[in-house]
Each structure stands twice: as structure tokens, then as C-alpha cells.
Amino acid sequence: MVSPPNQAEARPDVVRMGTQFQEIARVLNTHFLDKQEIIRLLVISAIAGEHMVLVGPPGTAKSAIIRMFAKLVDARYFEYLLTRFTEPNELFGPVDIKEFREGRYARRTEGMLPEAEIVFLDEIFKSNSAILNSLLTVINERRFSHGAEVREVPLISMFAASNEVPNDDNLSAMFDRFLLRVLSDNLDSYHFHELLARGIDNEVSRMTGREDQVRPVISARDLRALQRGFDQFMEFPEDFMAKYKGLIFQMRSEGITISDRRAVKLLKLFAASAVFDGRSHVTDGDFFILRHIWNNLDQAELLEEIVNPVVDVYYREHPEERRFIGPQASLDDLLSELNLIRELLTSGGALSDIQLFSQLKNLNEIKAALAAINNETAERMMREVDQLLESVFASSKFSG
């Protein structure tokens, strides 16, 4: 539905839900270094009731992030590592022998995938065709067939992990059902010291049992209640839809296949991104999601080149809505934020008092985050922050 922009304040229930979603992200960010966007996308997928696959080499926290996310949602959870030898009864439950003796084919699904609300399938693209065909029906239609019976399944979101992007045509149908395709890679040298420190904390937590102290923040019931009223968020301003159309057709012109079905479903993710922030309406900042709809790894950089200018322009024009990335931010994220603020402050454009003071607050937050990192690069960036602060305070607005 296309509508005029909603300028009203977000409703209290939306703000409350947004606070819960951001608490999930905060907990995850304390455990996993430089995974902010992956974490946000995990939560957004669950809000929208869509599916997401993490792709990356072994040891990049793909499985660990999904498992901890599942602990933060009070939902029936099912997890399995798939191989080409996996049999249907390992996912969907064994055949009910009693029913079989009476001439009826049925499965005992207690505790199995058909009764789960959050599902994680590791190495999903290594499974065989029998598994994949059954999973397609579950993912597409939220239905599971066994014998003559077809039942609805309570699945909210399916998450998957893989070490590689599938290149087999037989796997394309399954890959297509994951609306989001997200890369999880090894951290660079800037993060290595903090990686070791965070890793030690996580290992000690596992050995001492403190990891089990993670408690749910939101329930599957709350997610379903939100989704039942999701139509109120599926209203999009005309200018947003015009930009979206332009982005989709630019991507298609570059050879990135985006079906009409996927183009429609992506609107749910934009709305879910707004809800994550406690907003009742979308903004151009929500287009960041389009960085994660690639069909192969070669397209990931191309998508960034198409999407990032639109997102960056939005936050330059609306600095008060810029998402500060918090004390766990990486150097790359902090540098990106610092460059945006520098461009805003030195562009010569008129800034309101609110905008100016907002950027001063952001600079001080960045400085605090850099101080926590405490290496040569962070110290150099802190000097740049100090220079920016000095230039602002030396301006006429503050000198008089």
C-alpha cells in the first residue's frame, strides 16, 4: 500500500517492541565482534517472518550467532547439521509404527522441525533432494505433508548457514527462498586483539556455565501478535517507492536477478527495519537491506556501490536519525561515521542548533569508543575527532 509519509510519533507499542529488539541486538553485540549488521538482519528477518542464510568460511561465528539469537527468543527451536546422507525422519520425525500397522502413514513430529517456530539448518546446501523438496513446502507455504495429512506449521523464520554459495541448479530453488543472503567473514587485523579478548570471555563463559544465563527477551507469541497487525506498517511514501523502483531496475540492468515476488517481499523487510528502530514508517536508511540480496558473491560489491550512496545521502540529510553504532563498534564503522560527520560539518551548509549539538554528541561518543579500542589507529582517529571539535567550537556560533 502506498500512502503519504507518516509524520506522527511512533506509537507506544511500536517503541516498546523496538526496545525489545534492540536489547536482543545489544546482547548479541556484546558476544560477537563486528557483526552489527548481521545481527540487525537476523532480528529483522524474525520480525518479518522471512528467512535468511549466512554464508562464509568455517569459524566465522555463523552458527554461534544464530544459536544465541534463538536463546533470546522464547520459541520452540530446532537445529540440525545436514549432510547428503541425512534422512527425512531426522528432521521431520520417525514413522509412527502404531499408525503404520493400522494402515496409516504418519510421523511422530514432537520436538522435530514441523513443530518448531525458529529453525536453524547448518550446511543446508549439502542435503539431498528428498530433504530439499520437503523443506520447500515448509518454507514457502508453512505446510508439512505426511501421508494424507497436510498440517500448518508454526515456523516464524528459518535460518541457515553454509560455507559456500550453491552453484548447482538443483539447489537454486532452495537458495531463492532465503530472502536475505548475508556474508560472515573473518575479521581483519584491526580487530584481532579485541577478537582474542572477546573470544577468551566467551570460552570462559562456556566452561563455567555462565553462557546458559542468557534469558529470552521476547516471545514467539509477541512476534506473532506483531505480525498479525503488520498491515499497519506496510504503508510506503510515494517518494520511497519511486526510489525503490529506481534501485531495483538499476540492479536488474547490472545483471542482478530480482524476481517480482522477491521485490514485493523485500517491502516486509523495510517495514521490519523500521519496527526494529521503534518507527512506524520507513526511511531511505532502510534501503541498506538491499546490500544483502545478491545471487552470487561477485554481486555483493556491486550492490554496495548501488545502495550505499542512497543510504549515505539520507543520513547526511537527516543526521538526527543516524544510528550510532555503539561502544562495540569496529574501527571501520567508526571511521565511516567520522567521515560522514566531517562532511556534514565542513560542507558549508546551514545546520540548526539541534543538528549541530547532535553531531557534537556523536563525536564525543565516537571518541569514547575509540578510547576503548586503544591502538595506534584509534589514537590517530581520536586526534581527528579533537580537531573537528576544535573547529566547531572556534566557529562563530560558539565564539560569541
CA dist 13 and 279 (Å) reads 10
Instruction: Yes or no: say if 185 and 61 are a contact pair by the CB < 8 Å rule.
Output: no
Percent of the chain with pLDDT over 70: 85
Q: Residue 4: which pLDDT band, with cuts at 50, 70 and 90?
A: very low
Q: Is the pLDDT of residue 83 over 80?
A: yes
Which one-letter amino acid corresponds to residue 311?
Answer: V
CA dist 56 and 325 (Å) reads 23
In tens, the pLDDT along 307-366 reads: 999 998 888 787 666 665 544 456 777 787 788 778 777 777 666 665 676 677 678 778
- Grid coordinates of 54: 549466512
State residue 262's pLDDT score.
Answer: 96
Which parts of 115-164 are beta strand (E)?
Answer: 118-122, 143-146, 149-152, 157-162
Of 12-21, 103-112, 248-257, 342-351, which one has max mean pLDDT? Answer: 248-257
State residue 159's pLDDT score.
Answer: 98
In tens, the pLDDT along 145-167 reads: 876 778 899 999 999 999 999 98
Nearest to 7 by CA among 229, 225, 230, 235: 235
In tens, the pLDDT along 367-378 reads: 777 776 778 888
- Look at phi and psi of residue 43 and say left if phi exceeds 0, alpha if psi is from -120 to 50, else beta: alpha
pLDDT, averaged across the chain = 85
CA dist 153 and 124 (Å) reads 19
Provide mean pLDDT across the span 373-389: 84
Residue by residue, DSSP assigns 38-97 as: HHHHHHHHHHHT--EEEE--TTSSHHHHHHHHHHTEES-EEEEE--TT--HHHHH--B-H
Compare 64 and 398 and report the one with higher pLDDT.
Answer: 64
Q: Residue 99: which pLDDT band, with cuts at 50, 70 and 90?
A: low
